Structure 1
Amino acid sequence: MKKLSIIIPCYNEQESLPLFYPAVKKIVKKIPVEPEYIFVNDGSSDDTLKELKKIQQEDKEHVHYISFSRNFGKEAALYAGLQAATGDLVVVMDADLQDPPELLIEMYYLIKTGEWDMVGCRRVDRNGESKLKSWLSNMFYKVANKISETKLVPGVRDYRMMTRQVVDAVLSMSEYSRFSKGIFSWVGFNTKYLSYSNVQRVAGKSDWTIWQLFKYAMDGISDFSQAPLNITLWLGFVSFIVSFFAIIFIVVRHWIFPQYAINGWSSLVCIILLIGGLQLLCIGLVGRYIGRIYLQVKRRPIYIIKEKK
């Protein structure tokens, strides 16, 4: 019998966990696999760890938990779970039941056919979310797919089932700055996506603000695209050409049509501010990439475990 590892990153999910575990366990019983549940407590500030210990006491054979020394982020939690998973098949899903457990059955039988190495899930709508958040999400996928060679399926979730070969490929990418959606796509393999309508959280509220989602999107773009660097190059080149011809025009006009010469500092100050702002923008974009290199070469651990069982 194959072993199925289910990885669940948790951050302040004390209200969701008592509902999540029974719901998923009920579905997994319908699949001919030996289950392994790996909960990763990402430095929660509520009683998430207490809830995890209760669940682990109920089923010591199949339930395990990892608790970080502080909040390292969902990407670190996913990576820790993948490293700890021992199953032939591995699933990543959220604890808020926004990832429908019922799809696990279809995922399993699709992979069992041997045609697919990974079965992921994508939302076909974002009902229940703010229009601004939905619009920003759609724009992210459009921009990311325009400027990156690594294509992302719109509405794709981290929720997916993978073979051991896919998991090993993902783990081989030990980069410090991680964007799992991009990594899952980058490693390739035969992948099928199941579509479903958006599901609301069963309890609690999301800790993802619009600003955090924006930062996460920027991380994803800078991790899988050099387009921003290329844009700064072209902006600098165009700015140089325009300035060069503008200088020639001003000099020629001054000698041929001196009566049209304009004295004053306003236009000069505006030009200086424009070019200075452009330079700072370009330096900032370059600095972002350098900063990511800086974090990588320091070789700090992606996460630190305080407790596990």
Structure 2
Amino acid sequence: MKTLSIVVPCFNEEEAVFLFYEETKKILQKMKNGENEKSKIESFEFVFVDDGSSDKTLDALRQISNKDENVHYLSFSRNFGKEAALFAGLSKSDGEYVAVMDADLQDPPSLLPEMLFAIQNEGYDCAATRRVTRKNEPPVRSFFARRFYKIMGKLSNVPVVDGARDFRLMTKKFKDAVLSLSERNRFTKGIFPWVGFKTKWFDYENVERVAGKTKWSFWKLFLYSIDGIIGFSTKPLVFSAVVGVVSIFASLALILFIIIRRIIFGDPVQGWASLVCFITFFAGLQLTALGIVGLYISKIYTEVKQRPLYVIQEEK
């Protein structure tokens, strides 16, 4: 029976934050009072992180914190991104157990007792969740999401589970391991499996947002997926090198073919159109390879500057 911390990153969630707080507190109160036989806690706390919201999310957090001493919050000076908010929330949490959840109630609080039971009684260090369906999600987004997980599965050195959510409940030891990775280019879905430990997965069907709209556009998700691939795999660099070597041998074979044809048949060199196509094709390969290398260099550039992940404007 120990303290459970709930870390909640928020960005423009003024419509959802009250609903999330009330719904989750009901579950936590039952766990504290011993009404839930699966798992019990001695106390709980909320750690909300306002990621530079432009609406009244911060006002809502102030109201909740003023009436409940178990509610704490951080407010960033601007929007630094969900990864920074997660890192800040984990750093501020004091519980022996820590759960990471979204404020839109797409992460069912009802799973918390079962997840904690797995840690307290089954010897797991982390209880993670994944969606088994993408009901009510745009088909195009679902298609590219599945392709991303397949690509990550082949390229990454760590297992990234299809449909994995950030919704996790972990021990303090697991949390400390995650925080020990202080890189600026963070991809939590890769960091969680990278640190290892024993993890149990819980499946659930997709749940619609309780209020508001998603803050993840297709472009943001695309850039996030690129960060994930670059952050946990060097195979794109190997791929670009292999393509370069294959291109060299292909061009040598083509040169040899032209020479032999000239010697045997006496044909003048022809095919300016095909030559232009070849030049364009190989120029594209070169630019692609340079782009891949450039992405890795940009990440190195960000890391060596050692800028802080976030700046706190207000804290309670």
Please give the alpha-carbon distance, in whole angstroms, between the structure 2 residues aligned to 1:33 and 1:24.
16
Q: Size of the alignment, in residue pairs?
A: 307
Q: Does residue 163 of structure 2 align to residue 155 of structure 1?
A: yes
Please tell me whether the aligned partners of residues 7 and 99 of structure 2 are also in contact (alpha carbons under 8 angstroms).
yes
C-alpha separation between the residues in 1 aligned to 2:105 and 2:121?
Answer: 27
How far apart in 2 are the matches of 1:130 and 1:113?
39
Residue of structure 2 equivalent to 1:22: 22
Q: How does 1:11-160 map to 2 (within 5 A)?
A: 11-31=11-31, 32-59=41-68, 61-160=69-168
Within the candidate set 209, 213, 237, 1:205 is matched to: 213
Measured after TM superposition, the shift of residue 255 of structure 1 is 2.0
- Which of 303, 307, 312 aligns to 1:300? It is 307
CA contact (8 A) 1:79 1:171 kept: yes
1:181 to 178, 189, 193: 189
Amino acid at match of 1:46: D
Distance in structure 2 (CA, Å) of the matches to 1:191 and 1:108: 12
Residue 255 of structure 1 aligns with an amino acid whose one-letter code is I
Which stretch shows the higher mean deviation, 158-167 or 112-121?
112-121
Q: In the alignment, what sits opposite 1:5?
A: 5
Matched, 1:285 2:296: no
Asked whether the equivalents of residues 258 and 269 of structure 2 are also in contact (C-alpha less than 8 Å), the reply is no
Query: Could you state the TM-score of these two structures normalised by the residue count of structure 2?
Result: 0.95
* Identity of matched residues, %: 52
Residues 169 and 187 of structure 1 are in contact (CA less than 8 Å); yes or no, is this contact kept in structure 2?
yes
Instruction: Please report how far the alpha carbon of residue 268 of structure 1 lies from its aligned counterpart in structure 2 after TM superposition.
Output: 2.1
Matches within 5 A, 1:194-233: 194-233=202-241
1:235 has 2:261 as partner: no
CA distance in 1, matches of 2:81, 2:109: 23
State the partner residue of 2:266: 258
Instruction: Report the counterpart of residue 249 of structure 1 in structure 2.
Output: 257
Report the alpha carbon displacement of residue 224 of structure 1 after superposing the two structures with TM: 0.6
Deviation at 1:114, TM superposition (A): 4.9
Residue 131 of structure 1: CA displacement?
A: 1.0
Give 1:41 deviation, angstroms.
0.4
Separation in 2, partners of 1:95, 1:109: 23
| Paired letter, 1:150 | V
CA distance in 2, matches of 1:77, 1:252: 64
TM superposition shift of 1:12? 0.4
Normalising to structure 1: TM-score of the pair?
Answer: 0.97
User: Residue by residue, what CA displacement relative to the aligned partner does 1:240-296 show, whole Å, maximum 9, x if unpaired?
Assistant: 00001111111121122123x343532222211111111000000011001101100
Q: Does structure 2 conserve the Cα–Cα contact (< 8 Å) formed by 1:124 and 1:155?
A: yes
Q: Is the partner of 1:208 in helix, strand or coil?
A: coil
1:40 and 1:65 in contact (8 A); partners too:
yes
* Matched-pair contact (CA < 8 Å) for 2:262–2:269: no
CA separation of 1:90 and 1:236: change in aligned 2, threshold 3 A = same
RMSD: 1.0
User: What are the superposed Cα offsets for residues 37-89 of structure 1, whole Å, 9 maximum, x if unpaired?
Assistant: 10000011111111111111111x21111000110000000000011111100
SS of 1:30's equivalent in the other structure is helix
